[in-house]
Structure 1
Amino acid sequence: MKTVIYFVRHAHSTYTPEELTRPLSEKGMRDARRMTRILESENLDHVVSSPFLRAVQTVEGTAASLNQDVILIDGFRERLLSSEPLDDFQGAIRKVWEEPSFHWEGGESNMDAQKRGVSAMLELLKEYEGKSVAVGTHGNIMVLIMNHFDPRYGLAFWESLDMPDVYRLTFDGVDLVEVLRLWEPRSEGGERP
């Protein structure tokens, strides 16, 4: 039985050091409305999300169109890279991808974050078998989960993601059988790049 998961990477957010309550920016809110229109044509059954506000805000319009609340699932929250700010974010991300068991001070290794995310994903596939579910989430944890099911999804794929972005993943049981990107980026002027 096929289950379809729509991984929705959150839209652009206004930076604050508080991860849980960081909101979408004005551009992020516009993109979230566009994301809602894309997902409305996909015959969704349920909408779940990371508890982080920016992920919830990206998919709450989709849930509203289904007359549902967003179901919060902690396992889809973004990986904690470090408990302290890092000077070279890109270099820090590269390091954890090169050494999956390595973690920065107070942070999660790729292995630990992936284990958490995959556990949430397997529960989702079990609970919503045969359904279509949108998952509001974050770039790093999304790619770590996808990497578990297909190692082609790694650092280079993460670097290619847009904010927001959406990928439709089709599963047969727990086997990933197809991945299709649905988001088409536009320039600020509304034209496609």
Structure 2
Amino acid sequence: VNDNYQELLKKRWDNFDFHEENGESMNSLQQRNIAVLFEILSKHKNENILFSTHGAALSSILNYFNPNFGYLDFVRIQNFTPYILKIDFNEQNKIIDQKELLIISK
């Protein structure tokens, strides 16, 4: 990954409203992902749900629940394929437990 690309990624994390021309901001990505996640959680209460996504989408979700999850955390999980994370939610859609189950470096 070239330095310019990493600079753009960092800029997105530093300013959640920043986006390139015809691009999407982290704020927009996060809003889309959280809306879908909450819809899935509401339709499947007390069920196990498996979903797969890319690193930016997952990172935007994790940041929503933990604002301390930032650029360096995103960069960390970019290096894993697959990366399996187990998350338990309560009835109010809050994370009550989170565990990394499988981490394989690219």
Q: Which has the higher helix share?
A: 2
Alignment pair present for 1:167 and 2:85:
yes
**Deviations along 1:35-55, whole A, 9 cap, x unmatched?**
xxxxxxxxxxxxxxxxxxxxx
Aligned residue pair count: 102
**Deviations along 1:29-76, whole A, 9 cap, x unmatched?**
xxxxxxxxxxxxxxxxxxxxxxxxxxxxxxxxxxxxxxxxxxxxxxxx
Match of 2:48 among 116, 132, 135: 132
Query: Are the counterparts in 2 of residues 147 and 153 from structure 1 also a CA contact under 8 Å?
Result: yes
Calculate the aligned-residue CA RMSD, in Å: 1.8
Of structures 1 and 2, the one with the larger relative CO (CA 8 A, separation 6+) is 1
Distance of aligned partners of 1:129 and 1:107 in 2 relative to their CA distance in 1, 3 Å threshold: same
Alignment pair present for 1:145 and 2:70:
no
**Percent identity for Structure 1 against Structure 2:** 25
CA distance in 2, matches of 1:96, 1:170: 28
Partner of 1:7: none
Q: What amino acid maps onto 1:177 in structure 2?
A: I
With normalisation by structure 1, the TM-score equals 0.50
* Structure 1 residues not aligned, in runs of 5+: 1-85, 188-193
Q: What amino acid maps onto 1:138 in structure 2?
A: H
Alignment pair present for 1:97 and 2:13:
yes
Larger radius of gyration: 1
Alignment pair present for 1:176 and 2:92:
no
Runs of 4+ in 1 over 3 A off after TM superposition: none
Match of 2:70 among 154, 170, 176: 154
CA distance in 1, matches of 2:15, 2:9: 10
Q: What amino acid maps onto 1:126 in structure 2?
A: S
With normalisation by structure 2, the TM-score equals 0.88
Higher mean C-alpha displacement, 127-136 vs 148-157: 148-157
Q: What amino acid maps onto 2:19 in structure 1?
A: H
